[in-house]
Amino acid sequence: MTTMSKLQVARESSRPGWADLPCDLLESVLGRLPVPDRLRVPAVCTAWQSATRAPLLQNYQPAPPPSPWLMLPFNPTAHRQHRQRTTSDDDSNSKLSARFLSLTEGSGGRTYAIRQPLPAVSDRLCIGSSPDGWLVTADNVSELHLLNPVTGAQVPLPSVTTLPYVDATSDGRVVSYSLRFSCCFTEEEDDDEVMIPPETFAAEELRYEIYDKAVVLSPPRGSSLDLDGYAVLLICQPLSRLAVARDGDTAWTLLDTPGRCWADAVCASSEPRVVYTMDTAGRVDAWDMTAAPPSSRTIAPPCFCCCTGMSASCRNKYLVELSSPPGRLLQVHRIREAAHARYKWWEPRPDRVQYTTTKVELFEWTGGQRWAQLDSSNNRTDGVLAGRALFLGKSASLCVPADGLPTMIHGNCVYFTDDGPWSRDRCREVAPDVGVLDLADGTYRPPRAAVRDLLWKWPPPVWVFPSLAPS
């Protein structure tokens, strides 16, 4: 090699590259990347890998995701093979990856596989998902955990046995639970109280019976409600009651709401300390969750719909706060029909009935004396969902701007995941009701990129709002 060529090589090697960016600049840039790009950063080089773990990076929040990801069911064959390969004494090998479908990347979406911490994600049932990136999951003994599926961070919640009507039977580990009903009936003849006997459930099965939905009011180490640490609101059986747990609590606290059965709850964007809860009649209360005990006031009257004769299993209700103007509330009534109804000669077992969404009814409240029903047919919603999409299910009920997003996210559409009724057999044998309802033409179909994955059942899919925020 000549002297000149050696000098050229030395000069080329001395030029700064991407790995030589100043740390503060690199951390500032990385902190502002969307979640999918942040996931790819550590693979570039060791310097970038180190930057993703830098303490300074905690001061920056990634750009908010334009839409949720869909957490997909597991391939049962691949899951069985994974169990056969792993050993009980090797925790690192026993960790399993969960798969997530991003609807906003590429023409057909993009799937991410992210390894999850123990207990195995394949044994968890998700009963809640927050816009801050956290899931509320129930493990195979029906205990609850907060889980960030992107970072792997998790926080245990108070035991289910701290609910006043749950007792556990154990022999070193939980074997079964007894669920005691607090209501009673009175016989007119002798005016004696007749108590409902307790029901016994296997450790894994209680989660299907007791948990309706969980709403993350404040994420771990968050301050969305000026609370110190996390706060979770639980809608639970019997009688769809409300319970709350905050960071540091050792037990769930039931909220005193006699005669009310609750259907959904959302954090108020216009009032940082307030949570809106909706009962099954459509009445909405506003709760100050920073008070001790939390206090409430009714802000919206009951909502009367036209399908009063339909069973509860055919109608699910969701509460959404629209971003503009603040305090504008929308009720979404999801109407479902049994898929076998077209076949008069076949009647499946009740826990094997497959439901499919057929339409929605929309009701808006802006502070008047009644809910106004909106016309959601013929490409009209009175402008309420123009350029916006709804994401509904066990996740936080959320309205997402759709303008400028890729073609798989459309305005004037409702993106649903299945939210029950659930049982152990149903979650493993019956196809989940997951799909996109186009209000313009009334069509309902599964997301195109998820059709094959939705042939599998467990665990039931849920919308996930990815976040790399520190815990």
Kindly give the confidence (pLDDT) of every residue in the chain, 471 residues in length, as a single tens digit, with 9 standing for 90 and above: 555 565 554 555 555 666 667 777 776 776 667 676 777 777 677 767 666 665 545 444 545 545 789 999 987 766 666 565 655 445 444 567 889 998 877 677 788 888 888 877 888 999 999 988 899 999 999 999 999 998 888 999 999 999 999 999 988 889 999 988 755 444 454 445 456 788 899 999 999 999 999 999 988 875 445 455 899 999 998 889 999 999 999 999 999 888 899 999 999 887 778 999 999 999 999 999 888 888 999 999 999 765 544 444 468 999 999 866 667 899 999 998 887 655 555 666 776 778 889 999 999 987 778 899 987 664 554 567 878 889 999 999 988 888 766 667 888 899 999 987 787 888 888 888 999 999 988 899 988 888 888 888 888 999 998 887 665
Contact 236, 243 (CB under 8 A): yes
**What is the pLDDT, as a whole number, of residue 59?**
47
Q: Using CB atoms within 10 A of its CB, is residue 406 exposed (0-12), middle (13-18) or buried (19+)?
A: middle
pLDDT for res 226: 47
Which residue type sits at 71?
M
Of the candidates 177, 193, 173, the one whose C-alpha atom is nearest the C-alpha of residue 185 is 193
Q: What is the pLDDT of residue 261?
A: 93
Two tokens, residue 17: 């590259």
pLDDT per residue over 169-205, tens digit each?
988 889 999 988 755 444 454 445 456 788 899 999 9
- pTM of the entire predicted model: 0.84
- 329: Cβ contacts below 8 Å, ≥ 6 apart: 276, 284, 300, 319, 320, 321, 322, 364, 365, 366
pLDDT at 328: 85
pLDDT at 457: 83
Q: Is 32 helix (H, G, I), strand (E, B) or coil?
A: coil
Q: Could you state, in order of their start, the residue ranges of all structural domains in the chain?
A: 22-63, 64-464
- Measured CA to CA, the distance from residue 243 to residue 252 in angstroms comes to 6
For the chain, what is the radius of gyration of the CA atoms? 25
Cα–Cα dist 357/335, whole Å = 6
Given this model, what pLDDT does residue 347 score?
A: 65
- What gap in Å lies between CA 275 and CA 268, rounded to an integer? 5
Which residue, among 362, 360, 365, 412, has the nearest Cα to 386 in the 3D structure? Answer: 412
Neighbours of 380 (CB within 10 A): 15
Distance from chain centroid for Cα 464: 6
Which pLDDT belongs to residue 111?
87
CA 441 to chain centre: 27
Most distant CA pair in the chain: distance in Å? 111
Yes or no: domain 64-464 corresponds to CATH 2.60.40: no
- SS3 for 120? coil
What CA–CA distance (Å, rounded) separates 6 from 2? Answer: 6
| Predicted local distance difference test score (pLDDT) of residue 184 | 45
Read off the tokens for 93.
């090998």
Q: Which pLDDT value is given to residue 161?
A: 95
Contacts (Cβ under 8 Å, ≥6 apart) of 29 = 21
Give the C-alpha separation, 242 to 189, whole Å: 34
What is the C-alpha separation between 444 and 461, in angstroms, rounded? 17
Rounded CA-CA distance 277/270 in Å is 15
Whole-number pLDDT of residue 289: 87
Establish whether the linkage from the previous residue to 258 is cis, with ω within 30° of 0: no
69: which strand partners? 102, 464
CA dist., res. 48 & res. 21, Å (int):
9
Residue with tokens 């809860």: 277
> What type of residue is 416?
F
How is residue 363 annotated by DSSP? Answer: E
The arrangement of strands across the sheet holding 174-179 comes to 166-170, 174-179, 199-202
User: Distance (Å, rounded) from C-alpha 116 to C-alpha 131?
Assistant: 19
